[in-house]
């Protein structure tokens, strides 16, 4: 299983994004069950926050449209609910995190609590400090697939 990060989802739905094509291809690979992509509720909330904020995207979505997209993700991806197990893991790995860094630490904790070691993201640096977690771009993941489509 591969956790798909918020930035990949945002690029996948934003036709103007430079990284739209590989991000969209990754989503299609998940839909086709060629990639076992998963999400956690935090990713869906981050997606909503970004795509509805005119300070973060050029053409923000209306809240209703953003929720429709979230519903579409929920039919494509397995959504993991890591519950309190992830908070316990966060306490162990997030002690050095400060400010907003706690959110990446919480994603790492949710991954550890679920036995996931790979995150698909364009922010590899944010996850390099967590042992046992490999950050890969959509291009990395797609290029490793048998009969790859890019």
What digits encode the pLDDT tens for the residues 53-91? 999 998 999 999 999 999 999 999 999 998 888 988 888
Residue 94 has pLDDT above 80, yes or no: no
Tokens of 18: 């430079």
Residue 96 has pLDDT above 90, yes or no: no
Residue by residue, DSSP assigns 24-90 as HHHHHHHHTTSS-EEE-HHHHHHHHHHHT-TTT-SSPPPHHHHHHHHHHHHHHSEEP--HHHHHHHH
CATH number attached to the domain at 2-142: 3.40.50.1010
Taking only the tens place, the pLDDT of each residue in 36-46 is 999 999 999 99
Taking only the tens place, the pLDDT of each residue in 8-52 is 999 999 998 999 999 999 999 999 999 999 999 999 999 999 999
The predicted pLDDT at position 148 comes to 57
Taking only the tens place, the pLDDT of each residue in 100-148 is 889 999 999 999 999 999 999 999 999 999 999 999 999 999 999 987 5
Q: Rounded CA gap, 86 and 67, in Å?
A: 25
Residue 95 has pLDDT above 80, yes or no: no
Q: Where are the domains of the chain?
A: 2-142
8 Å CB contact between 29 and 35: yes
More confident residue, 94 or 139: 139
Phi, psi (degrees; rounded to nearest 5) at 79:
-105, 120
């Amino acid at each position: 299983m591969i956790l798909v990060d918020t930035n990949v989802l945002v690029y996948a739905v934003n036709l103007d994004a430079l990284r739209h094509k590989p991000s969209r291809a990754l989503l299609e690979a998940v839909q086709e069950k060629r990639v076992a992509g998963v999400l956690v509720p935090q990713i869906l909330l981050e997606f909503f926050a970004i795509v509805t904020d005119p300070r973060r995207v050029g053409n923000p979505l209306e809240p209703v449209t953003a929720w429709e997209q979230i519903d579409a993700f929920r039919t494509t991806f397995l959504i993991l609910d890591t519950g309190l197990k992830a908070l316990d893991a966060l306490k162990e790995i997030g002690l050095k995190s400060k400010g907003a860094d706690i959110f990446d630490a919480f994603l790492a904790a949710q991954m550890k609590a679920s036995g996931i070691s790979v995150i698909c993201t364009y922010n590899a640096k944010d996850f390099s400090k967590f042992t046992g977690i490999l950050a890969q771009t959509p291009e990395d993941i797609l290029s490793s697939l048998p009969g790859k489509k890019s």
